[in-house]
A and B are shown apart, each in its own frame.
Chain A
Amino acid sequence: MGYTPCRLLLMDNQQSPPHPDTRRQLQMARSMCWHCQSEVTGEYFCDRCVKVQPVSKETDYFTCLGFPRRLLLDPQKLEAKFYELSRTFHPDFYQTKSADEQTISLSNAAVLNTAYRTLRDSIQRAEYLLALETGSVKDIRTSPPADLFEEILDLQDTLEEYRASERDSDQGHRLRATLQTEQEALERRKEGMEAQLRQLFADWDKLQDAGEATSLARVERDRILKEMRDLLSNRTYVNNIVNDLAATIA
Chain B
Amino acid sequence: MIWQQQSPKQLFPNILIFDMARIVGIDLGTTNSLVAYMKDGQPCVVPDRNGRTMVPSVVALTDNGLIVGDSAKEHLTRNPERTVYSVKRFMGKGLADVQDELVYFPYHVTETGGVIRIRLGQKSYSPPQVSAMILKELKLRAEASLGESITKAVITVPAYFNDSQRQATKDAGLIAGLEVLRIINEPTAASLAYGLQQKTQGTIAVYDFGGGTFDISILKLKDGIFEVLATSGDTHLGGDDLDRVLVDLFIGDIRDRYGIDVSRYPDHMQTVRLEAERAKIRLSDELKTKITIELPEDKGRFTRELTRDQLESLVAGIIERTLAPCRIALKDAGLTPKNIDEVVLVGGSTRMPLVRQRVEALFGKQPHCHLNPDEVVALGAAVQADILSGGTTDMLLLDVTPLSLGIETMGGVMSSLIRRNTTIPASAKEMFTTYVDGQTGVDIHILQGERELVKDNRSLAQFRLKVPPLPAGVPRIEVTFLIDANGILNVTATDMRTAKSQSIEVKPSYGLSDTEVERMIEDSFKFAAEDVTARKLIEARLDAEALIKTTDKSLLEAGHLISEKDADDIRTSLSQLSTAKNGIDSRVIRAHMAELEQTAKHLNVMMLDHSLKKSLQGKKVSEVS
Bound together, the chains give a CA A237 to CA B410 distance in angstroms of 24
Q: Are B427 and A90 in contact (CB under 8 A)?
A: no
- The total of chain A residues at the interface (CB under 8 A) is 37
Which chain B residue lies CB-closest to A83? B225
**What residues of chain B lie closer than 8 Å to A19, measured between beta carbons?**
none
Q: Give per-residue flags for A82-107: 1 if the beta carbon is below 8 A from chain B beta carbons, else 0.
A: 01001100111101111110010011
Nearest CB of chain A from residue B78's CB, rounded to whole Å: 44
Q: Are A3 and B439 in contact (CB under 8 A)?
A: yes
Q: Are B389 and A113 in contact (CB under 8 A)?
A: no
Q: Are B13 and A109 in contact (CB under 8 A)?
A: no
Bound together, the chains give a CA A81 to CA B141 distance in angstroms of 43
Q: Which A residues between 2 and 28 are near B, CB-CB below 8 angstroms?
A: 2-11, 13, 15
Given A13-B419, A114-B427: A92 and B409 interface contact (C-beta under 8 Å): no
Which chain A residue lies CB-closest to B20? A96
Judge whether B335 is part of the interface by a CB distance below 8 angstroms.
Answer: no
Q: Are B439 and A99 in contact (CB under 8 A)?
A: no
Nearest CB of chain A from residue B155's CB, rounded to whole Å: 15
Q: Which B residues between 384 and 410 are near A, CB-CB below 8 angstroms?
A: 384, 387-390, 393, 396-398, 407-410
Nearest CB of chain B from residue A242's CB, rounded to whole Å: 15
Given A8-B476, A13-B417: A110 and B482 interface contact (C-beta under 8 Å): yes
Q: Are A113 and B423 in contact (CB under 8 A)?
A: yes
Q: Are B225 and A99 in contact (CB under 8 A)?
A: no
Judge whether A174 is part of the interface by a CB distance below 8 angstroms.
Answer: no
Q: Are A100 and B485 in contact (CB under 8 A)?
A: no
Bound together, the chains give a CA A8 to CA B426 distance in angstroms of 21
Given A3-B436, A5-B432, A113-B423: A13 and B418 interface contact (C-beta under 8 Å): yes
Given A5-B409, A106-B485: A95 and B388 interface contact (C-beta under 8 Å): yes
Q: Are A6 and B425 in contact (CB under 8 A)?
A: no
Nearest CB of chain A from residue B517's CB, rounded to whole Å: 21
Judge whether A34 is part of the interface by a CB distance below 8 angstroms.
Answer: yes
Q: Are A9 and B443 in contact (CB under 8 A)?
A: no
Q: Are A7 and B388 in contact (CB under 8 A)?
A: no
Which chain A residue lies CB-closest to B428? A13
**What residues of chain B lie closer than 8 Å to A95, measured between beta carbons?**
181, 388-390
Q: Are B428 and A11 in contact (CB under 8 A)?
A: yes
Q: Are B18 and A96 in contact (CB under 8 A)?
A: yes
**What residues of chain B lie closer than 8 Å to A6, measured between beta carbons?**
432-435, 442
Q: Are B432 and A106 in contact (CB under 8 A)?
A: no
Judge whether B441 is part of the interface by a CB distance below 8 angstroms.
Answer: yes
Judge whether A162 is part of the interface by a CB distance below 8 angstroms.
Answer: no
Judge whether A128 is part of the interface by a CB distance below 8 angstroms.
Answer: no
Q: Are B482 and A11 in contact (CB under 8 A)?
A: no
Q: How large is the interface on B (under 10, 10 to 19, 20 to 34, 35 or more residues)?
A: 35 or more
Judge whether A188 is part of the interface by a CB distance below 8 angstroms.
Answer: no
Judge whether B605 is part of the interface by a CB distance below 8 angstroms.
Answer: no
**What residues of chain A lie closer than 8 Å to B422, measured between beta carbons?**
113, 117
Q: Which B residues between 363 and 390 are near A, CB-CB below 8 angstroms?
A: 384, 387-390
Q: Are B15 and A98 in contact (CB under 8 A)?
A: yes
Judge whether A204 is part of the interface by a CB distance below 8 angstroms.
Answer: no
Q: Are A87 and B482 in contact (CB under 8 A)?
A: no
Bound together, the chains give a CA A98 to CA B476 distance in angstroms of 32
Nearest CB of chain B from residue A82's CB, rounded to whole Å: 9
Judge whether A116 is part of the interface by a CB distance below 8 angstroms.
Answer: yes
Judge whether B500 is part of the interface by a CB distance below 8 angstroms.
Answer: no
**What residues of chain A lie closer than 8 Å to B441, measured between beta carbons?**
1, 3
Which chain A residue lies CB-closest to B417? A13
Q: Which B residues between 9 and 23 are near A, CB-CB below 8 angstroms?
A: 11-20
Q: Are B430 and A7 in contact (CB under 8 A)?
A: yes
Q: Are B427 and A3 in contact (CB under 8 A)?
A: no
Nearest CB of chain A from residue B444's CB, rounded to whole Å: 6
Q: Are B398 and A86 in contact (CB under 8 A)?
A: yes
**What residues of chain A lie closer than 8 Å to B407, measured between beta carbons?**
5
Given A13-B417, A90-B396, 19 further pairs, Cβ under 8 A? A3-B434, A4-B443, A7-B430, A13-B428, A86-B396, A87-B225, A87-B396, A91-B485, A93-B387, A93-B390, A96-B17, A96-B389, A99-B15, A103-B11, A106-B425, A110-B427, A111-B427, A113-B425, A114-B426
Chosen A-B contacts, 18 in total, with CB atoms closer than 8 Å, are: A2-B443, A3-B435, A3-B443, A4-B410, A8-B430, A9-B431, A86-B225, A90-B396, A92-B387, A92-B396, A92-B397, A93-B396, A97-B17, A98-B15, A99-B13, A100-B12, A106-B485, A113-B423
